[in-house]
Amino acid sequence: MKKYLLLSILLCHGLFAFAEVINLKSVGGNPDGKTSNTAIIKNAIEKLSTDGGGTLFFPAGIYLTGPIVLKSNITLDLEAGATIKFSDDLSEYTPFVEMRYEGVVMKSFCPMIYAYEQENITIKGEGTIDGNGKKWWYGTFTIEGAHKDENFRKELQGYQEMWSKENSGFRIEEQSDWKRTLGKRFFRPPLMQPYKCKNFRIEGVTVVNSPFWTINPEFCENVSVIGVTINNPDAPNTDGINPSSCKNVIISDCNITVGDDCITLKSGRDLQGREYATPCENITITNCVMQAGHGGVVIGSEMSGDVRKVTISNCVFDGTDRGIRLKSTRGRGGIVEEIRVSNIVMKNIPKEAITLNLFYSNVPAEDFSERTPVFRNIHISGLTGSDVNIACTVLGIEEAPISNISFSDINIEAKTGFEINKAKDITLENVRVSTEIGAAYKISESENIRINNVYISKPLANKPVLEVSDVNNMFVQGCFPEKGSQSFIKLDGQKTDNIILTNNYFGRLSTSIEKGSNLNKSAKIIEK
């Protein structure tokens, strides 16, 4: 009784108040899925913002709208059965706003949910956000000449001209692979792009039919994406969750099925990304399930402002083209480092379970400079994979070998095994690969390799377990190969030297070491 009396006194004197809640229906919202609610939603957000913030509640129904521009201290709350369906009238997304598209800041179509330099924004509930992206997908193909609707073609040409006028001051490096992409001048908006915001949270909702990238915070701080379902399986470039140049990000308990990468970390593209120099850092990805996409968790290729301090754990990839994918190319610059991956299960992976690749696009070789991308200090452990095509590739470049990488407690059933090229300071420990084609481990043009207890689950007839070429400084211990392989290790290459094998048991093989025809004749090889 005393508690209720105290609460009544506080309310009477204005000392305790609840944040305002606006029910969209109560202010004229129409949930018929056909009538535009753009102006009503905008007015409701303006009122909440003027009053210091509050919640815009969407009861069950389908609410058609143009872009929603959020302000500080605003929550969108979607009831189960509620759908926010975005208009496919392209004119609703103009005038152009400042945004980022594939790592390049520009003026272009307003994202469907957008905020600029705001804070304390939440999108939550059990409802659905429908990007209605089909017309946008066709728009991209129209630029390439595939669409037959002449009126639509003219409409898109008008947007091209508008884009060229708004972005006339672009600086582009001569060898940038961005030049070809920029020529389209028609850029589908991401479904959600908070831009330079703080404390952005999205929780519980289902997101479908994104026109382009789905949840894409840019230059944000303190981002949480919790318990979200994303379903864009047949749509082009509809990445799931793409924090770019963001700090302090938590992604957890999400279920993602998309037409591109499921979760991707980025930080800007080429010269402009290096000039903004805003890394993506302090990132936690955990307890997520990814069922379709080009990659499960991806870093790059737009990583010119650096990506660092990332943990990826307790995730399942079931049917993604690749599992863990780090990609970049000459011209990007930037550093990817301090990455930890653990407790991962993969199944039905048509390409690589793990890939670290600095050859994402065909940029010619050049000397080391600020344009050179760097991958280093990356550690992967506790990974199980089955029905995999390629276990792992680590592909560096001459001027920047991938360095300080470790693989431990790995068990993968794959058609082909590990391929490591142009790398240094690499550790493989307790790694088991079951392969069908070629040697289980191929290492070339690399140095400072440490191998402890690597093995295969079935013998490789006419093939060695390890195939080594032009490798300097390799230490191999604790291995116990199965009977039936041609040999344990085959050494070749003029640069191969200082190979030490110790505390291994090769008694079940007829040959432990093969020497290739091009092996350095003065190579130091020690077996004990």
Dihedral (CA of 104, 105, 109, 113) sign: positive
pLDDT band for position 368 (cuts 50, 70, 90): very high
Give me the mean pLDDT over the 189-217 stretch: 98
- Predicted confidence at residue 363, as pLDDT, reads 83
Residue 275: is its pLDDT beyond 60?
A: yes
Specify the range with the lowest mean pLDDT, choosing from 152-161, 197-206, 299-308: 152-161
Closest CA relative to residue 156, chosen from 169, 138, 170: 138
C-beta atoms surrounding 362 within 10 Å: 8
Calculate what percentage of the chain has a pLDDT beyond 70. 93
How far, in Å, CA of 136 to CA of 93, rounded? 12
Q: Which of 77, 88, 239, 260 is catalytic?
A: 260
The Cα 501–Cα 494 span in angstroms is 19
Model confidence over 132-149: pLDDT tens digits? Answer: 999 898 765 544 444 567
Average pLDDT over residues 121-128: 98
Ranking 51-65, 240-254, 500-514 by mean pLDDT, the lowest is 500-514
Tens-digit pLDDT profile for residues 235-252: 889 999 999 999 999 999
Least confident of 142-151, 294-303, 393-402, 473-482: 142-151
Of 130, 239, 294, 425, which one is the catalytic site residue?
294
Question: Domain ranges in the chain?
Answer: 20-263
Question: How many whole angstroms separate alpha carbon 528 and alpha carbon 400?
Answer: 34
pLDDT score, position 139: 66
- Once rounded to an integer, what is the mean pLDDT over residues 486-510? 93
Active site residue 147: no
For residue 428, the cross-strand partners are: 407, 451
Q: What is the pTM of this model?
A: 0.94
* Integer Cα distance of 341 and 337 in angstroms: 12
Under DSSP, the state recorded for 218 is B
Q: What is the mean pLDDT of residues 466-480?
A: 96
- pLDDT for 146: 47
User: Where do the DSSP E strands lie in 30-142?
Assistant: 32-36, 54-58, 61-65, 68-69, 74-78, 82-86, 97-101, 104-108, 113-116, 119-125, 128-130
CA angle 167, 173, 176 (to 5 degrees): 100
> From CA 178, how far away is CA 360, in angstroms rounded?
13
For tokens 């508008």, the residue is 162
b/e string for 54-93 if b means 16 or more Cβ within 10 A?
bbbbbbebbbbbbbbbbbbbbbbbbeeebbbbbbbebebb
Cβ atoms 351, 322 nearer than 8 A:
yes
Calculate the average pLDDT of the chain: 92
Contacts of 356 (CB under 8 A, 6+ apart): 326, 375, 378, 393, 394, 395, 396, 402, 405
Phi, psi of 320, deg, nearest 5: -70, 150
Helices (H) and strands (E) in the chain, counts: 6, 35
pLDDT exceeds cutoff 80 at 183: no
Residue 7 has pLDDT above 50, yes or no: no
User: Does a cis peptide bond (omega within 30 degrees of 0) precede residue 168?
Assistant: no
Annotation says 294 is catalytic: yes
Task: Say how many residues make up the chain.
Answer: 528
Taking a C-beta distance cutoff of 8 angstroms, is the pair 221, 198 a contact?
yes
Instruction: Count the helix, strand and coil residues of the chain and give each as a percent rounded to the nearest 5.
Output: 15, 50, 40
238, 265 in Cβ contact below 8 A?
Answer: no
Superfamily grouping for domain 20-263 = Single-stranded right-handed beta-helix, Pectin lyase-like (2.160.20.10)
User: Residue by residue, what is the 3-state secondary structure of 431-475?
Assistant: EEEECCCCCCEEEEEEEEEEEEEEEECCCCCCCEEEEEEEEEEEE
Distance (Å) of CA 288 to CA 41, 265, 301: 32, 15, 22
Q: Evaluate the CA torsion angle 170, 176, 182, 188 in order and state its sign.
A: negative
What type of residue is 321? Answer: D
List phi, psi (to 5°) of 455.
Answer: -155, 170
Amino acid at 405: I
Nearest-5° Cα angle at 365, 362 to 368: 125
What number of other Cβ atoms are within 10 A of residue 484's Cβ?
13
The pair of three-digit structure tokens given for residue 514, joined into one six-digit string: 């093969």
Mean pLDDT, residues 124-133: 97
Kindly report the three-state secondary structure assignment for every residue of 275-344: HHCCCEEEEEEECCEEEECCCCEEECCCECCCEEEEEEEEEEEECCCCCEEEECCCCCCCEEEEEEEEEE
Q: What is the CA radius of gyration of the chain?
A: 27
Q: Is residue 525 predicted with pLDDT exceeding 60? A: yes
φ/ψ of residue 45, rounded to 5: -65, -40
Kindly state the DSSP code that residue 422 receives in the 8-state scheme.
S
Contact 56, 103 (CB under 8 A): no
Question: In a 10 Å sphere around its CB, with 0-12 CB exposed, 13-18 middle and 19+ buried, how is residue 507 labelled?
Answer: exposed
Partners of residue 493 on adjacent β-strands: none
